[in-house]
C-alpha cells in the first residue's frame, strides 16, 4: 500500500513540476468555475419560477414534473459541457507542454473549440447517465443511493480518459468512451491511485484550511475586530480557492500524461519513466 502511494506521489510531484513550468494552466479551472457559476445562475430563476408555479413549492402535475426533468437535463448538459470544454483545453495545453511546446491559452481553447461537437455529445451522454442515476436514487431509496453510488463510481472510472481521447483523436463521444474503458481495462493497475491520492491530499488540505479559517474567524469575532474578520475570510477563502484550482490543473495534467504514456508507451517529458511504467502495471 505504502509503495503504491509512494509511486503515485512521485507522479503527482511530476505533475506539479509541469504546472510550475506553466502556471497559465491554472486559468482553465478558474474560467471553468466562473462559467459553471454563470450556468447555475442562469438556471436558478427559471427553476424557482417553475417550482413555485401557482403558489406551490412542489410541482405535482405531470406537466410540471416533465418540465422539471427537462430543465434538470438541460442543466446537467450545460454544466457538463462547460466542464468538459475547459478540461479539454487544459488537457490540450498539458499535452503540448509535455511535448516540450509552450502552448498559449488561446491555442488551447481553439483545440477545445474544434472538438465542440464531440464534447457536446459526450456531455449529453454524461447528462443522461446523471439523470438515470438521480432517478435511481429518488425512486429506490437507501438501496438506490448505494446502487447509484456504485454505478457512478464505475462510470467515472470507465470514462476517466475520455477527454484526453477526444483531444488527441478525431473520434466521436461513443468511440471515446469505449476507448477510455479499453485503455483502463488493458492497463489496470495503479493508474487510479494517483487521482485518489491527489484527491485525498487536497481534501485534507482544504479541511485544514476550513478548520484554520473557522478558528481565526472565531478569534476575530471574540476580539470584536471587523477588519480582522474580513481579512481572515479573504485570506482563507483565497487559499481554499487556490487549492481547488491547483487540484483541477494537476488532475488535467495527470490525465494527459497517463493517456500519453498509455497510448504512446514512451517517455513523457517531466515524468520519471520508471514511475510512469509502474503506474501502468498490466492486468494479469
Give me the chain's average pLDDT, please.
81
- Judge contact between 105 and 266, C-beta under 8 A: no
Q: pTM of the prediction?
A: 0.82
Look up cell 505533475; give the residue: 15
What pLDDT is recorded for position 36? 93
What pLDDT is recorded for position 53? 62
Q: What is the pLDDT of residues 202-222, one digit of tens each?
A: 888 889 989 998 888 888 888
What pLDDT is recorded for position 284? 42
What pLDDT is recorded for position 15? 79
Q: Which residue has the higher pLDDT, 39 or 139?
A: 39
Mean pLDDT of 162-177: 94
3-state SS of 172-189 is: CHHHHHHHHHHHHHHCCC
Chain centre to alpha carbon of residue 118: 18
Determine the Cα–Cα distance for residues 47 and 5; give it in Å rounded to an integer: 44
Determine the Cα–Cα distance for residues 76 and 54; give it in Å rounded to an integer: 26
What pLDDT is recorded for position 138? 77
What percentage of the chain reaches a pLDDT higher than 90?
A: 31
243 φ/ψ angles, rounded to the nearest 5 degrees = -65, -40
52-56, 166-170, 223-227: which is most confident: 166-170
272 φ/ψ angles, rounded to the nearest 5 degrees = -70, 125
> Rounded to the nearest 10 degrees, how much is the dihedral formed by the CA atoms of 92, 94, 100, 104?
60
Determine the Cα–Cα distance for residues 1 and 205; give it in Å rounded to an integer: 21
What pLDDT is recorded for position 48? 72
Q: What is the pLDDT of residues 60-111, one digit of tens each?
A: 444 456 777 888 899 999 999 999 999 999 999 998 888 878 889 999 999 9
As a whole number of Å, the end-to-end CA separation of the chain is 19
Q: What is the pLDDT of residues 3-49, one digit of tens each?
A: 555 656 666 777 788 888 888 999 999 999 999 999 998 888 776 76
Q: Which cell numbers in the block locate residue 64?
A: 410540471
Reduce the DSSP state of residue 200 to 3 states and report it.
helix
Kind plus residue range of the DSSP H or E element containing 201 = helix 193-223
What pLDDT is recorded for position 154? 83
- Judge contact between 163 and 255, C-beta under 8 A: yes
- Judge contact between 173 and 118, C-beta under 8 A: yes
Domain boundaries in the chain? 2-278
Q: Which cell numbers in the block locate residue 37?
A: 457559476
Look up cell 485503455; give the residue: 183
What pLDDT is recorded for position 17? 81
Amino acid at each position: 500500500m505504502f509503495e503504491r502511494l509512494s509511486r503515485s506521489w512521485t507522479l503527482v510531484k511530476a505533475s506539479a513540476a509541469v504546472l510550475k513550468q506553466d502556471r497559465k494552466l491554472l486559468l482553465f479551472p478558474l474560467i471553468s468555475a466562473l462559467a459553471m457559476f454563470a450556468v447555475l445562475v442562469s438556471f436558478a430563476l427559471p427553476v424557482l419560477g417553475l417550482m413555485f408555479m401557482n403558489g406551490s413549492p412542489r410541482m405535482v402535475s405531470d406537466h410540471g414534473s416533465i418540465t422539471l426533468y427537462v430543465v434538470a437535463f438541460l442543466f446537467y448538459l450545460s454544466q457538463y459541457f462547460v466542464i468538459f470544454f475547459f478540461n479539454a483545453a487544459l488537457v490540450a495545453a498539458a499535452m503540448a507542454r509535455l511535448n516540450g511546446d509552450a502552448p498559449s491559452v488561446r491555442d488551447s481553447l481553439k483545440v477545445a473549440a474544434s472538438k465542440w461537437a464531440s464534447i457536446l455529445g459526450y456531455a449529453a451522454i454524461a447528462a443522461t447517465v446523471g439523470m438515470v442515476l438521480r432517478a435511481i436514487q429518488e425512486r429506490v431509496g437507501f438501496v438506490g443511493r448505494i446502487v447509484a453510488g456504485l454505478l457512478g463510481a464505475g462510470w467515472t472510472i470507465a470514462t476517466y480518459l475520455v477527454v484526453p481521447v477526444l483531444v488527441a483523436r478525431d473520434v466521436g463521444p461513443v468511440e471515446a468512451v469505449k476507448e477510455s474503458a479499453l485503455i483502463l481495462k488493458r492497463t489496470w493497475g495503479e493508474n487510479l491511485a494517483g487521482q485518489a491520492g491527489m484527491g485525498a491530499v487536497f481534501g485534507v488540505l482544504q479541511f485544514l484550511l476550513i478548520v484554520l479559517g473557522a478558528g481565526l474567524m472565531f478569534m476575530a469575532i471574540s476580539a470584536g475586530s471587523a477588519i480582522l474578520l474580513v481579512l481572515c475570510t479573504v485570506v482563507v477563502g483565497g487559499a481554499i480557492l487556490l487549492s481547488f484550482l491547483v487540484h483541477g490543473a494537476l488532475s488535467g495534467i495527470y490525465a494527459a500524461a497517463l493517456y500519453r504514456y498509455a497510448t504512446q508507451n514512451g517517455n513523457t517529458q517531466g515524468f520519471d519513466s520508471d514511475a510512469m511504467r509502474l503506474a501502468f502495471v498490466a492486468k494479469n
